[in-house]
Amino acid sequence: MRPRDLFVLATVGVGWLAGSPAAAQQHVVLRYRPELGQIARTLTEVRTTTTLTGFPAAPDGATFEEQQRISATVRVSGDSPDGAVVAVTIDSISTRSRMGTDPWVDRGDTLLVGRTAEAIVSPRFDVVGIRSRGPTDADVLQTLGAGVIGLGFTFPQSAVTVGESFETGGRVRTRVTTDASTGVAVDEVVFGDLALALDSVTVAGADTLSYFQFRGSVAPRSGAAAGETGDVVTSTSGGFAGRLVWSAQWGAFVSGAVRVRVQGRITTTGPGGAAQAQATWDRLIVHSVRP
């Protein structure tokens, strides 16, 4: 799939804010200046289709679908010399999956539910400190950046002009897996550097909305693991594209979507020799702030 195709697909399902903008601007200074006590509730929906070829326990062309909904609450709980103190709590996670056209199977994901991570977020929207001390803090705090943007994300120091692109320092991150029931278990995390292009800036009442688009490549990588029947080497590559909307009033990406497509080549080595398999992960992530 070409980068342009990825970009077009990434726009599907994005809930843009309603209402017509009152005015347009040609540049904007992007800053995070939330009010003390401000509360935002977010919803991130993830839909993944995995297609398999050459797996010993799955027919060629077999598909595995997974749908996940993550609800979180972001609360500005204090102030510090370095920025706002922000508490992120995962309220609920629901997941269902199926192989091919089989019935959907629901499962409970409880690892992150109810957990809170507290971070200091600077005016440039980068996490400059983590106050909580839990093993899942990083996973919880990912909700600050539309679900997939890494914690290294930073807005530019100077104003951004419409049509301009800038490196964020953040990375699009996604995890790709296959179930052991397919005969080969794969579990890899892939990354791609994130640069945003400012499409437009509009003023709607008391709010200023900045619209961004982005696209990029997943960094090729290779990982090795020991499986039950031999060694497993997985090589991955791919691309991503999407859109984000930043609200100055909310101090958040209030709407966005990213489409990620990852190709994996899997080599298994065991007593019977080497075998080759392929997997494709097609993932759409839609993020929004709920009223």
- Whole-number pLDDT of residue 111: 85
- Token digits for 178? 């296959």
- How deeply is 143 buried, as exposed, middle or buried, from its count of CB atoms within 10 A (0-12, 13-18, 19+)? buried
- Whole-number pLDDT of residue 16: 37
* Angle made by CA atoms 284, 202, 253, in degrees to the nearest 5: 35
Pairwise CA distance, residues 155 & 27, whole Å: 14
Pairwise CA distance, residues 51 & 192, whole Å: 22
pLDDT tens sequence across 141-181: 887 766 667 778 999 999 999 999 999 999 998 999 998 88
Per-residue pLDDT in tens (0 to 9) along the chain, 291 residues: 343 343 333 343 333 333 444 466 788 999 999 999 999 999 999 999 999 999 989 999 999 999 999 999 999 999 999 999 999 999 999 999 999 999 999 987 788 999 999 999 999 999 999 988 888 888 888 877 666 677 789 999 999 999 999 999 999 989 999 988 898 889 999 999 999 999 999 998 889 999 999 999 999 999 888 766 678 899 999 999 999 999 998 888 999 999 999 999 999 887 777 889 999 999 999 999 886
Torsion of CA 45, 192, 240, 244, to 10 degrees: 60
Which is nearest to 234 in space by CA: 4, 62, 54, 68?
54
| Distance, CA of 43 to chain centre | 12
Residue 181 phi, psi (nearest 5): -65, -15
Pairwise CA distance, residues 261 & 134, whole Å: 31
What are the structural domains, with CATH classification, of the chain? 3-290 (2.30.230)
